Structure 1
Amino acid sequence: MDFYTSDTHFYHQDLLLSQIFSPRKQFLTVEDMNETIIANWNSKVKPTDTVYHLGDISMKFTKPPKLIMSETLAILKRLHGNFIIIKGNHDQTALLKFLKQNNDITANQKPKFTIHEVGTRVKFAHYEVFLTHYPLIFGMTKNQINLHGHIHNYAMPHQENINVGIDSPEIGYLPKNSVPFGAPLSQNEVIEMIQAKRHHMLRNR
């Protein structure tokens, strides 16, 4: 099964009390936040599933810088699934190289990490789906969708854009409390969000 997520921001201390983006005030420490995401992720994703992570994996300034790379790798290895990673604005090139250097072949004979610098494209449910970190502006299209992250607790005012980040307000298109914090969105949940957003915007024209 395929899943989609973005903006986990593991270790990002300042995000807990941010006044702009996605304040995660329910957590007193980043360790609590990290462990909550890991538990909710692994309760939903199987080791043989594929997770498209659309960027901003972790953020922490350490000396030496390689320390956060090792800490990030340790968390990613605890998370179920094979990762297709889209580089986010907070994902250093050095981190992505480090993940490639420490890649594993998992039980389903696939690499743990596959990395795209800008984005990639998939097709499902008759949609052509562009996966990017930053939201794209298509204009009105019938079957093209952009899954993205980056804007945390905001949503683009276009039906073609779906924010799949863990702080996304568009998770509200799904049944209440059906997606625990940090759990990636299944492909079926994404389809439900696409359809619900289109109906919502049509009603409010």
Structure 2
Amino acid sequence: MQYFTADTHFFHEQLLGNNDFAPRPFKNVAAMNQAIIDAWNARVSDKDVVYHLGDIAMHPSNYPGNDEVFEILKQLNGQIIFIKGNHDNRDLFKFLAKHNWDVFPDKPKFRFHDVGVLIKMNHFQFFMTHYPMMMGIVKQTMNLHGHIHHSSVPIAEDINVGIDTPETVFLKDPPPFGTPFSEAELFAMYAGKKAYLIKNKPFNKYD
């Protein structure tokens, strides 16, 4: 199976409690980190692939040590493909590559991309990037992204897969906080968002 997530922001103390950006109701970063690990591992097995679309971890004033991040990431099930976010640095990617291992023969634990990845599923193309893309008129194409946390781009084909995304409102049974999204959940969010925007889209004068 393939799963999708972004903006885990491990160690990010400033997100704790109530804030206008990405409120996370945990007493400390250890509790937040563990909640994400537990939710991730409840869904993902080592045979699965998870696309992480950037912003792995950060401290308020500086990036956490590479060894700290590695200790978290090696607890996560699955093979993880990272797309670089604005709070990720190449030094971390180099550290993870140096300490990488094969989950299965020729299946490394970590893989890395600086900008984005394109895959195909169920007759759709998925452009996976950290920042949301403005794709214009498309057909059977979605942009999976993170970066904007609790915000939603008013375009049905732009799906925020970050763990703070508000687009879980379109899911009948939203998964626990920190759970990577499944292919079925992506299509459910897309269908729900598309129907909502058709009904509530006053900004397009040509409709």
- TM-score norm. by structure 1 comes to 0.93
Matched residue of 2:16: which SS? Answer: helix
- Aligned residues, how many? 201
Residue 161 (structure 1) aligned to one of 158, 161, 166: 158
- Match status 1:80 vs 2:62: no
Matched residue of 2:3: which SS? Answer: strand
- Gaps in structure 2 of 5+ consecutive residues: 202-207
Contact 1:149 1:163 in 2 (8 A): yes
What is the CA RMSD across the aligned residues, in angstroms? Answer: 1.6
Q: After TM superposition, list the pairs within 5 Å mapping 1:117-132 onto structure 2.
A: 117-132=114-129
Q: Which amino acid aligns with 2:47?
A: T
Residue 106 (structure 1) aligned to one of 103, 107, 114: 103
Q: After TM superposition, list the pairs within 5 Å mapping 1:1-205 onto structure 2.
A: 1-17=1-17, 19-24=19-24, 26-60=25-59, 68-107=65-104, 109-176=106-173, 178-205=174-201
Q: Alignment identity in percent?
A: 45
1:23-73 deviations in Å (ceiling 9; x for gaps): 11x10100000001111110111111000000000002789x7x6211111
C-alpha change, 1:21 and 1:61, in structure 2 (3 Å) is closer
Matched residue of 2:147: which SS? Answer: coil
Contact 1:84 1:114 in 2 (8 A): yes
Pick which of 37-46 and 105-114 moved more. Answer: 105-114
Matched residue of 2:31: which SS? Answer: helix
Q: Which amino acid aligns with 1:196?
A: G
1:119-178 deviations in Å (ceiling 9; x for gaps): 0101112211100000000112121210000000000011110000000000111114x3
Contact 1:61 1:68 in 2 (8 A): no
C-alpha deviation, 1:203, in angstroms: 2.1
Structure 1 Cα separation of the partners of residues 17 and 147 of structure 2: 17
